[in-house]
Each structure stands twice: as structure tokens, then as C-alpha cells.
């Protein structure tokens, strides 16, 4: 993290011993050690949070691209189905005729026809 050599640490220790004094130096070193540990944990937590956010953003991008690919696939399949349906309808019309006319004729065949009422016999006058 920091590029501090042995000689720099020795100089810092001597200055701290002179400024703080031999009685308070161990307590001060312990406190500095605790603060350094807290700082390291905080930095590690921040790094982990940043990494999670980056991964989450990548997953969101991947999800969006997959949804777009799925919708593109769905629309292409739907257009192909519509095109095929149109072609099939044209083929049926060419072979059989107009489907609406055929349907009307089928309905006429299926309707029961009521018998014609009998006419009363006319008497011959003669």
C-alpha cells in the first residue's frame, strides 16, 4: 500500500518515542493498530460493494440483451407464422375456391329444409 522502507519506519519510531514518551507509546501504538485495522476493513468493504455493483450492472446488461434477443426472436417467429398462414390461405383458395363461399354453401347443405305445405286438392268443376 505505502512504499515505506525499514529506515523510514525506524525514523518514525524514534520521533514517536521522543514526542509521545515511553509510557504512552505502547498504548498509542495499539490504538493506531486498531485504527489501521478498521481502515483496512472499511476499504475492503467498499471494494466488495463496488465489485457487487459492477457485477449487478453486468447482469442487468446481460438480462436486457437476452430480453431483446427473445423479443426479436418472437417477432421473427410471429412474422414467419403470419407469412405462412397467408400463403396457406392463398393455396387453399387456389385449390378449393373462396372459403367464405364454400362456408356459405356448407351452411345451406346443413340447414334442414322445411317440407313445403301441401296444397288442398281443388275440386274439378265440370
pTM: 0.46
Cell of 45: 468493504
- State percent of the chain over pLDDT 90: 46
Predicted confidence at residue 103, as pLDDT, reads 65
Tens digits of per-residue pLDDT, 57-115? Answer: 999 999 999 999 999 999 999 999 999 999 988 888 777 766 566 666 676 777 665 55
Domain spans, the chain: 18-92
E strand spans, 27-78: none
Predicted confidence at residue 26, as pLDDT, reads 87
Amino acid at each position: 500500500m505505502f512504499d515505506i522502507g525499514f529506515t523510514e519506519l525506524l525514523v518514525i519510531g524514534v520521533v514517536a518515542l521522543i514526542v509521545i514518551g515511553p509510557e504512552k507509546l505502547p498504548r498509542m501504538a495499539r490504538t493506531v493498530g486498531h485504527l489501521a485495522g478498521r481502515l483496512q476493513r472499511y476499504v475492503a468493504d467498499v471494494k466488495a460493494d463496488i465489485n457487487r455493483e459492477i457485477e449487478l450492472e453486468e447482469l442487468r446488461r446481460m438480462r436486457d440483451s437476452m430480453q431483446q434477443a427473445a423479443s426479436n426472436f418472437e417477432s421473427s417467429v410471429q412474422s414467419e407464422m403470419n407469412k405462412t398462414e397467408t400463403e396457406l390461405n392463398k393455396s387453399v383458395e387456389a385449390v378449393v375456391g373462396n372459403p367464405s363461399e364454400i362456408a356459405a354453401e356448407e351452411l345451406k347443405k346443413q340447414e334442414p329444409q322445411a317440407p313445403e305445405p301441401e296444397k288442398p286438392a281443388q275440386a274439378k268443376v265440370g
